[in-house]
Structure 1
């Protein structure tokens, strides 16, 4: 999957309310620190995890599924296995009239679900992390030897 920087930047700039499907309250899980980071960056993060429904996370009530999230959600970020994506995509299309982006985390891909979402006018990102892309594109990735190609100390 090759996405242009301008496409990813546009997706991350327009997103306001993100439903994170499969988020964990365990602070050492990647889903937790990605969702926390997005919250700290000013996004409204709606946690979705049936095993923790009703609890509080990031100042929001954890929802059991996408049918319970606010209609204003405009991006879904999926922390589930690829085989779970079609059901999540259908729920997103059925319950989220403002959905603009369906984002699948690193290692999560489903071409058929992506095609269905795109046919409905939804932008799809597969096998990428919004936290990493945000840091890379907005000049915050500064450790680990990553070459972002965005900021340079060369004159």
Structure 2
């Protein structure tokens, strides 16, 4: 698989999960807007928790993809082959991280968790998700380098 194709597939994975997760949070916001103060507070806290979990990595990916020169200035870089192991690790790590976030948003309410317990779970997950995010961002940072416009 070529370097550019791997970058594009990783971008698709991240954007697809982002759209689904933001859709869930928007629906939560709409439903929570007519609810109690506690429901509105939980929704605001969920947004505050979610945005830092995905936006740094999405910004890195988008910045690298859109900073690439429009003209085919570096075909050798785009056409070089990527190790299947390296690409596979990045795909698996990304999907595992994004599924973890999705599960934290969806599963606790479906199990009857109280809003306070759900919020506490989100805050507690910052410890392991932060480490997970750091590892993924480091790997993706080397995979999505800013391309020089020569």
TM bucket, shorter chain: under 0.3
Structure holding more helix per residue:
2
Structure 1-normalised TM-score?
0.22
Instruction: Judging by fraction of residues, say which structure has more strand.
Output: 1
TM-score normalized by the length of structure 2: 0.23
Query: Which of 1 and 2 has greater Rg?
Result: 2
